Structure 1
Amino acid sequence: MRKRLIVSAASALSLLLAVPASATDFRPGADGVGDPYYPTFGNGGYSVSHYDIRLKYQPATDELEGTTTILATATQDLSRFNLDFVLNVSEVLVNGRPATFATSGDQELEITPARPLAKGSQATVVVRYKDVPSTVERYDGYTAWRRTPDGAVAAGEPVSAGWWFPSNDHPSDKATFDVSVQVPNGTQVISNGVLTGTSSQAGWTRYSWRENKPQATYLTTLAIGKFDITQDTTVGGIPVYNAYSKDLGDNAAAARASVERTGELVDWLSGYFGEYPFSSVGGYVPNIDSGGALETQTRVRYGPGAFSDGSNTSVVVHELAHQWYGDSVSLNRWSDIWLNEGFAEYTQFLWSEHENEGTAQELVDYLYAARPASDPFWSVKPGDPGADHQFAAAVYYRGAMAIQALRNAVGDEKFFRILKGWPTERRYGNGTIQDFQAYAEKVSGQKLGDLLNTWLFTPGKPAVGPVAPGAAVAAPLVAGQAQAQLPTEPKSWKKIQEATAVHESRR
């Protein structure tokens, strides 16, 4: 026995000495990317290039069964890594070998591969799961999975992916997607990108969708139900897929009158932002009790309530503008939300100009005058609003005022070069407000720090509104001062208000 123990100890020492010194560098990846608003969102230690999501869904029971295959690259020597996911997992494989896994926190799936992953190595991760998503709540009662009378919808910001596929759930790590879902015959599936095929077998139909351009996880969407689907192309030849629940009631006609203008609006927006960045475009209106809208990539989710007061082209303009500002060029951290919402809001002002219902300058003059300095509206910093105010009205309205102030400061010729150049230069990537400032300064040849700091990062009503060059400057209202006579309300204002309220309520 003693001899056997000595031999075993010697063997163990031999194995230890045989391990390269670099093996000591293997360590767990972080359980978050360190986003200042949501520190545990996303994960460290790897980046994802592709998700292959294969699902089977039964609307009658809300049971979802899936296998997601993730193609990733280790960015450090990894002994363990996390995925963001909330459903019940039955098996995980890493490079074809069973891996151990555990859960922690709100949505951490901790995976220990049988063999550690060296920095720069490729990893294929397979996760099998089965659950009833609508019963799973996180973050004090939140769920991104919503049942409908005939199916379900998954869409939400800043998180939604975890209720139907495991991921590195942060917009700083974008990937391409294949989404294939099997549902009972008579039920349809809507997702991002292009429908690559359907197949039927034994009472079930499978729909396969592909998004071949980089996409943030929160911009991935899934809608299952019974839809009326329209297909067309833009003048430029981009496929347009729109889908409407068969039971939208009184909102059905207004929804179609708005969303069916998608192709026309993409062509119009291309004049401001450059070539449309994706292989398809469209939207869907599911039968959910919501007026919220979300710029899910290539396939916008519109709540029926967005059209309860009639057609609402302004909200379609807003969501389509996001395909450039927010989807193709994504924020690098959630505190940079102005890069998404300020520019999408301002695009509604440009649409108002196009429709002769009020210029962008008239709209910002009205907005500036309508809010006295004592209004809490001015306490929110659009450039860093905080997680609790990420979708506050100031991010949209004051954010759009900041853009008009920029336009007036640099002049129309340079402003529209900036507006088109930013999504062209950063196409399919990410950016920060500081990156945008540097780009705008390069194009304009002007220092813009004081202007952007005043409008985006300084609480309180700016002393001077974003007035046009040569225009008379009205003294700003101060706390306790009576409201002065407002400028004439632009014709487009009510629809812009409706569209912004819709977008604010999209989570």
Structure 2
Amino acid sequence: MRHRLTVPSAAAAFLLLAVPASAAEATPGAPGIGDSYYPDYGNGGYDVSHYDLRLTYQPPTDRLEGTATVVATATQDLSRFNLDFALEVREVLVGGKKAAFATSGDHELEITPAAPIDSGRPFTVVVRYRGTPSKVQVKGYTAWLRTPDGGVAANEPEAAWWWFPSNDHPLDKATYDVSVAVPDGTQAISNGTLQSTTSRLGWTRYSWRSNRPQATYLATLAVGKFDITTDTTANGLPVINAYSKDLGDNAGAARASVERTAEVADWLSGVFGPYPFNALGGYVPNVGTSYALETQTRPFYSPRQFANGSNVSVVVHELAHQWYGDSVSVKDWRDIWVNEGFARYAQWLWSEKEGEGTAQELADYVYAQHPAEDAFWTVEPGDPGPDNQFHAAVYDRGAIALQALRNEVGDEDFFAILKGWPTERRYGNGSVRDFEAYAEKVSGRPLGALFDTWLFTASKPSAPAARANGIRAGGGADAGAGAAPRPKSWRAIHATDTVHGSR
């Protein structure tokens, strides 16, 4: 039986005036940000400006407890919104008031605030949570890496779900404070600068700050027992590198490579323009993976990267990403070429500088090495598909595209483009077509056919088409692998072919 409440007309008018117009219009934020490859990654309805993460981690049990404070602004009238997260949530507050929450899908935390949030209004979300990250799987997979003495969060395109709730897409960047308490004798490594270290009752808390916009997958955490080296660059930037104490035979080669971080960054500044962040470094935990990752200001390296000796080329690759991938990030994950093609080309330029093979020789060799029937040519670097996002073609064919561009526009315009793009879009995002338009603006040349040939054609460009872009086939209409000499740097460069081969 229903009871209908009858309200006198004057009172009814008062109640209508008392209810904000937006309350009736508020709608849920979208459960995805709109990515073409990963529709449920990120969320709609708000923009995050800052994450404050206060964590406690116990290495023997892999137990993580945390309180995340997310500072955001509504971009629509919000009745409900989502965060991406996979651990157990204990409590959620929005604006200091308890909020209802539920989970859905693989990684959606649905939050309903006590009252709708007006568009344009800043708000804070506090999430208290706990869990064992290595035991939490999404589609049979965990991005959290266990080590003999701790754990590591470093993966792409997703890693945040296993250690903090977020709007997990590069379109929504934010600044970070990461404070982690670990047992004495253990260290916690993260992005940016170390603000403080305090000890109390057997626990040491490390507080890190990343004060430039940072995508969620570029946030990292490593807990374990490390040897830590510190220095400053000539310009005063702090350099912090960390190495697990149990790297075994790979320890020396790892140090011989990563300790050259400041030197490499200084050289890259001459290629891509001023370094965009306020800290430098790298870390090598004792993990069984084989990839590396451009975690902002402090790239992650697997020990296996150094199994054959020092490899400065992988350091060049990950530091190049600080400009191409970190400072300027993808708009959509299909735009991965604006990250990986440039990081690979930076390795080619380093090879050129070191006298181990010019970028032209490397481009010629890649073209000659893969016959027309090779599946390498079926992947379009400009839109490779989610299953081929980190395919060798995105790297190598993607780098050929840049050498073809260099040949077309000449060195002066080419290097102006390489510096101008990360300057114009610093801390923002860009797509493949955005870069094409920018290159056309700087050079004053139509470049659509060149980009289509090397980035958007699912077959090997013919020898005449390659020669038209300055790529030498080495003889014959379809040169074989032996037609172009193998540059000296080839082995070191392709020791990094597993830089993101984690899955």
Do the structures match in fold with TM over 0.5?
yes
Q: 1:364 to 1:15 in 2, by over 3 A?
A: same
- In structure 2, the partner of 1:395 is 394
Alignment match, 1:489: 486
1:301 equivalent in structure 2: 300
Residue of structure 2 in register with 1:191 after alignment: 190
Mapping 1:353-392, distance limit 5 Å: 353-392=352-391
Query: How far apart are the structure 2 equivalents of 1:472 and 1:293?
Result: 31
Deviation at 1:382, TM superposition (A): 0.0
Q: Is the 8 A contact 1:177 1:211 kept in 2?
A: yes
CA deviations on 1:72-131 (whole Å, 9 max, x unpaired) are 000000000000000000100000000000000010000000011000000110000011
CA distance in 2, matches of 1:48, 1:476: 55
The residue that corresponds to 1:54 in the other structure is 54
2:277 matched residue in structure 1: 278
Tell me what 1:91 maps to.
91
In structure 2, relative to structure 1, the CA distance for the partners of 1:22 and 1:188 (3 Å cut) is closer
Shift of 1:233: 1.6
Amino acid at match of 1:124: T
Determine if contact 1:189/1:222 at 8 Å carries over to the other structure.
Answer: yes
What is the SS of the residue equivalent to 2:199?
A: strand
Deviation per residue, 1:327-359 (Å, 9 max, x gap) = 000011100000000000000000000100000
Q: Is the 8 A contact 1:103 1:109 kept in 2?
A: yes
1:237 Cα shift? 2.2
**Corresponding residue for residue 120 of structure 1:** 120
When residues 323 and 3 of structure 1 are mapped into structure 2, their CA distance, relative to the original with a 3 A threshold, is closer
Structure 1: state its 5+ residue gaps. none
Provide the C-alpha distance between the structure 2 equivalents of 1:227 and 1:59, rounded to a whole number of angstroms: 13
Percent identity over paired residues = 67
Question: 1:394/1:6 Cα in 2 relative to 1: closer, same or farther (>3 Å)?
Answer: same
What is the CA deviation profile of residues 395-444 of structure 1, one whole-angstrom value per residue up to 9, with x for unaligned ones? 00000000000000000110000011111111111111111111111110
The one-letter amino acid paired with 1:50 is H
* SS of residue in 2 equivalent to 1:137: coil
Q: Distance in 1 between matches of 2:319 and 2:354?
A: 17
Matches within 5 A, 1:9-24: 15-16=15-16, 18-24=18-24
1:19-418 to 2 correspondences below 5 Å: 19-138=19-138, 140-418=139-417
What do residues 133-182 of structure 1 show as CA deviations (whole Å, max 9, x unaligned)?
111000x2111112211111011100000101000000000000000000
Q: Normalising by the residue count of structure 2, what TM-score does the alignment of the two structures yield?
A: 0.96
Label 1:7 to 1:240 Cα distance change in 2 as closer, same or farther (>3 A). same
Distance 1:466 1:255, change over 3 A: farther
Deviation at 1:5, TM superposition (A): 5.2
CA shift in 2, pair 1:429/1:360, >3 Å: same
Write the letter of the residue equivalent to 1:99: A
Classify 1:475/1:9 alpha carbon distance in 2 versus 1 (closer, same or farther; 3 Å): farther
Contact 1:234 1:266 in 2 (8 A): no
Secondary structure, in 3 states, of the residue corresponding to 1:363?
A: helix
Q: Aligned AA for 1:90?
A: R
Q: Structure 1 pair 4/416, CA: closer, same or farther in 2 (3 Å)? A: closer
One-letter code of the match for 1:409?
Answer: E
Q: Aligned partners of 1:211 and 1:372: how far apart in 2?
A: 45
Amino acid at match of 1:393: A
Three-state SS of the structure 1 residue aligned to 2:189 is strand
Unaligned runs of 5+ in 2: none
Q: What is the SS of the residue equivalent to 1:230?
A: strand
TM-score (norm 1): 0.95
Q: Is the 8 A contact 2:364 2:471 kept in 1?
A: no
Deviation at 1:291, TM superposition (A): 1.7
Query: Distance in 2 between the 1:156 and 1:472 partners?
Result: 37
Is contact 1:405–1:467 with CA below 8 Å preserved after alignment? no
CA contact (8 A) 1:365 1:466 kept: no
Instruction: Name the CA shift for 1:222/1:476 in 2 (closer, same or farther; >3 Å).
Output: farther
> Shift in Å at residue 504 of structure 1?
3.5
1:423 aligned counterpart, secondary structure: helix
User: Does the 8 Å contact 1:398/1:455 carry over to 2?
Assistant: yes
The equivalent position to 2:498 in structure 1, one of 482, 498, 502, is 502
SS in structure 1 of the partner of residue 65 of structure 2: strand
User: SS where residue 146 of structure 1 aligns?
Assistant: strand
Q: How many residues align?
A: 501
SS class of match (1:143): coil
